[in-house]
């Protein structure tokens, strides 16, 4: 594959500016010197990039001289999320599940190897664990991701297995293609996926795919909560309602084929 420098259209200065935004999003507020150190460049160049981003409204300067992302970056993400019509259709169904079980309900979208959280309804319990809107998570170690993987066309699943780089987030994380295929077989048999503390210790969730109008598992819905509340018995209680809701939602959005 060609490197960035071999692509005639590649604008390195633009790439550096975007990398600075990603860096501040990941690390939090940073000084120009800290950005320079992370970017392996000099402070003057770093300051020019940051100043340009500040003039454009994407970066703000804090009282202690550091730079942080502005709300303009959030607005971009929100505009992107708003273009997903599935959120409008799905929210009432998510509310139904949230009212029934009082746990966090998540809506995820398949994005070429990862799952993006499009919408959520927070648990009414004080103790809860969840990802924010727009957050991405690996597919192989999340309920949403595994529910989608199980119903991908075989060609796409094979491509995913060949390209994914497994990382052990906990002792329960699946880290081999063979183990993931065994898990997928179980999901296809039951119709739902379970994240058994695979991404984060103390967090369990159950998820089911939502087959869209093209017949693809582009979306999934999950119910997540602390391990002490999400026992095997409770997961069994949730799965029937969750599967029913996902089937009805798929029908609402014009699904071409019936979910398992």
240 versus 45: which is more confidently predicted? 240
**3-state SS, residue 157:** helix
pLDDT > 90 fraction of the chain, expressed in percent and rounded: 47
Query: What confidence score (pLDDT) does residue 82 get?
Result: 53
Q: Looking at residues 228-249, what average pLDDT do you find? A: 94
Query: What confidence score (pLDDT) does residue 213 get?
Result: 74
Q: Are strands 193-196 and 203-210 parallel, antiparallel or unpaired?
A: antiparallel
- Distance set, CA 221 to CA 1, 133, 185, 200, 230 (Å): 36, 14, 19, 18, 16
Q: Looking at residues 23-45, what average pLDDT do you find? A: 87
Query: What confidence score (pLDDT) does residue 107 get?
Result: 93
Q: What is the C-alpha separation between 238 and 52, in angstroms, rounded?
A: 50
The class that CATH gives domain 4-77 is mainly alpha
Tens-place pLDDT, residues 133-191: 657 789 999 999 999 999 999 999 999 999 999 999 999 999 999 999 999 999 999 99
Query: What confidence score (pLDDT) does residue 185 get?
Result: 97
Does the pLDDT of residue 2 top 50, yes or no?
A: no
Query: What confidence score (pLDDT) does residue 176 get?
Result: 95
> Which segments of the chain belong to CATH 3.30.450.40?
84-252
Most confidently modeled range among 21-25, 108-112, 236-240: 236-240
pTM assigned to the model:
0.68
Most confidently modeled range among 4-8, 126-130, 199-203: 199-203
Q: Looking at residues 61-86, what average pLDDT do you find? A: 73
Q: What is the C-alpha separation between 7 and 54, in angstroms, rounded?
A: 28
Query: What confidence score (pLDDT) does residue 234 get?
Result: 95
Does the pLDDT of residue 5 top 50, yes or no?
A: yes
What are the φ and ψ backbone dihedral angles of 164, each rounded to 5 degrees?
-70, 140
The class that CATH gives domain 84-252 is alpha beta
Tens-place pLDDT, residues 112-132: 788 888 889 998 776 555 566
> Which segments of the chain belong to CATH 1.10.10.10?
4-77
């Amino acid at each position: 594959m060609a490197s960035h420098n071999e692509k005639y259209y590649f604008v390195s200065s633009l790439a550096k500016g975007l990398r600075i935004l990603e860096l501040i999003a990941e690390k939090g507020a940073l000084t120009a010197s800290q950005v320079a150190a992370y970017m392996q460049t000099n402070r003057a160049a770093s300051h020019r990039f940051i100043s340009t981003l500040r003039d454009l409204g994407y970066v703000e300067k804090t009282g202690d001289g550091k730079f942080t992302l502005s709300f303009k970056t959030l607005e971009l993400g929100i505009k992107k999320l708003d273009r997903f019509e599935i959120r409008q259709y799905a929210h009432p169904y998510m509310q139904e599940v949230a009212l029934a079980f009082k746990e966090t309900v998540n809506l995820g979208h398949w994005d070429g190897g990862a799952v993006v959280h499009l919408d959520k309804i927070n648990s009414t319990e004080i103790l809860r664990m969840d990802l924010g809107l727009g957050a991405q998570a690996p597919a192989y170690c999340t309920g949403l991701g595994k529910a989608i993987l199980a119903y991908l066309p075989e060609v796409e699943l094979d491509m995913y297995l060949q390209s994914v780089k497994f990382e052990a987030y906990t002792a329960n994380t699946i880290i081999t293609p063979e183990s993931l295929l065994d898990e997928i077989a179980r999901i296809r048999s039951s119709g739902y996926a379970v994240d058994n503390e695979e991404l984060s210790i103390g967090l369990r969730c159950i998820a089911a795919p939502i087959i869209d109008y093209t017949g693809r598992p582009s979306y999934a819905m999950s119910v997540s909560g602390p391990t002490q509340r999400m026992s095997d018995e409770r997961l069994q209680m949730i799965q029937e309602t969750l599967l029913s809701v996902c089937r009805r939602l798929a029908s609402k959005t014009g699904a071409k084929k019936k979910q398992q």
